[in-house]
Amino acid sequence: MTNQEWNGRGQTALMNNYGRFPIALVKGKGSYVWDANNKQYLDMVGGIATCSLGHCPEAVLTVLKEQAQTLWHVSNLYWIPPQIQLAENLLAGSGLDKAYFCNSGAEANEAALKLARKYFYRKKQANKTEVIAFEHSFHGRTMGALTATGQSKYHEGFGPLVPGFKYVPYNQLPAVEQAITENTCAIIVEPIQGEGGIRPADLTFLRSLKHICDQAEVLLIFDEVQCGIGRTGTLFAYQHYGVTPHIVTLAKGLGSGFPIGAMLTTDQVATGFAPGDHAATFGGNPLATAVAGKVMDIINQPDFLADVQEKGRLLREGIQKIGDPRVKEMRGRGLLIGVEFSAEVKDLISICMKKGLLLVGAGTNVVRFVPPLTINKTEINQALALFKEALKEWDA
């Protein structure tokens, strides 16, 4: 089957809810993927900041096979040892006390929003139901996560949304202070906004948010679905800021491509959920948690994380050195990099693809580099060379 044939069959059989390039990816190894016509691509998308250890990493594959031969799925009616081990490892690295597992980023955020409301309900402060979210944020597509997402283009046609949400400008403390009332239960924020254009929170902003939350008895939720699990060169992006939230949500890179989501919280906030309050059939199943456990073991090492920072620096310096006058700004941390251009980047991304380099946008004018964290320096140089060639051809 060729790309063209898959393109035709896909258009016939699948819903039209994704804008897709006309290639079918059929194989991956390390930082590379191949399409149905056997063309090779250097993958700087990595399943959108998800394949943290590259494609089909050997060490994870071994664990996946072993667990697949042992036990795939049971139920949270019983203890699941790989789930407990993964929880212990995540908690040890996070400064938090309790974990909950699910299957995606949106699900993790739903859990966080529900926990915040139920926590105050159980404390007999049932008035505290309002959530403050930020403009240009992205938290997922389920109704709660979608409502928390501060971009009207994602809301259009899906109303009525969940009541009780307010949106304020990112990185602007006075706006948050004004928005907080006695009814606020949570503030949800990405320490680095991903889909909104790779926008890092200011140091003082994130620190002050925690301070404000502690004073006003409001829970601070960090959505680290995109920026967490080593992506920025620390296990959690909030560690760059020296601020620990009350709740953090994770997904994407946690399974390096195997579906899993998680929410971590404090002992105190965890009292918001009692048996029956929240659940997911597949959440924390043996297969997913064994895989994520191995992913965590590999990523959560000082040398690995330092290497991510170093490679991110190389990539940023290389892009800067190209010196394209259409670059307005470069943002991000570690291997979460956004390059903002003065024009729409759709065509640039297509040119890159034709040259064998996969990239993804973040908003209309930002090209996002989110490669596997295992990418090596030769591959980074190859990506830079291809990007430079593509920029020459791009006539924006």
Ligand X SMILES: Cc1ncc(COP(=O)(O)O)c(C=O)c1O
Binding site for ligand X (CB under 6 A): 104-106, 109, 138-140, 190, 194-195, 223, 225-226, 251
Give the nearest distance from C-beta 386 to ligand X in angstroms.
25
Nearer to ligand X, 111 or 384 (CB): 111
Q: Which of 58, 57, 66, 68 is nearest to 31 (CA)?
A: 57
Give the nearest distance from C-beta 223 to ligand X in angstroms.
5
Q: Backbone phi, then psi, for 115, in 5-degree steps?
A: -60, -45
| Tally of CB atoms within 10 A around 40 | 12
379, containing H or E segment: helix 377-393
Tokens 């043996």 found at: 286
Q: Backbone phi, then psi, for 248, in 5-degree steps?
A: -130, 140
Nearer to ligand X, 45 or 305 (CB): 45
Nearer to ligand X, 345 or 384 (CB): 345
| Separation CA 170–CA 223 (nearest Å) | 14
Give the nearest distance from C-beta 143 to ligand X in angstroms.
12
| Tally of CB atoms within 10 A around 279 | 13
What proportions of the chain, in percent to the nearest 5, are helix, strand and coil?
A: 40, 20, 40
Residue nearest to ligand X (CB): 105
Give the nearest distance from C-beta 314 to ligand X in angstroms.
24
Give the nearest distance from C-beta 161 to ligand X in angstroms.
16
Nearer to ligand X, 195 or 340 (CB): 195
| Separation CA 99–CA 260 (nearest Å) | 13
Nearer to ligand X, 30 or 283 (CB): 283
